[in-house]
Amino acid sequence: DVKVTQSSRYLVKRTGEKVFLECVQDMDHENMFWYRQDPGLGLRLIYFSYDVKMKEKGDIPEGYSVSREKKERFSLILESASTNQTSMYLCASTADTEAFFGQGTRLTVV
């Protein structure tokens, strides 16, 4: 069974902290994505990666960075968390045209 796993379902962090959100897929997919989901705005693409060590900016990359050292793992990094980064974060990987999603991480920055 296809699986995309995000390391945490809920996370609370303090302003200014460095935050790591981890995503692991077991399907050998080349493409991986990070989105944030906010009410009324849908899913907005932060970063994506089409290969190990490759990354591309999405529509809202400011305040975020990513790391892909291994094919199965794609990490989203908030260098200095701010309250406006409180959101739901979704990771996805794709095989051709089918996307598989993790269960989401609801991050609250206080």
Partner 1 sequence: AQTVTQSQPEMSVQEAETVTLSCTYDTSENNYYLFWYKQPPSRQMILVIRQEAYKQQNATENRFSVNFQKAAKSFSLKISDSQLGDTAMYFCAFMTLGSNDYKLSFGAGTTVTVRA
Q: What is the per-residue burial (b if ≥16 Cβ within 10 Å, else e) of 48-73?
A: bbeeeeebeebeeeeebebbbeebbe
**How many residues bind partner 1, per CB under 8 A?**
26
Q: Which stretch binds partner 1 (CB under 8 A): 16-24, 28-36, 66-74, 75-83?
A: 28-36
Closer residue to partner 1, CB minimum distance, 40 or 84: 40
The end-to-end CA distance of the chain, in Å, is: 37
Which of 42, 62, 83, 84 lies at the binding interface for partner 1 (CB under 8 A)? 42
8 is a site residue for partner 1 (CB under 8 A): no
50 is a site residue for partner 1 (CB under 8 A): yes
CB 22 within 8 A of CB 110: no
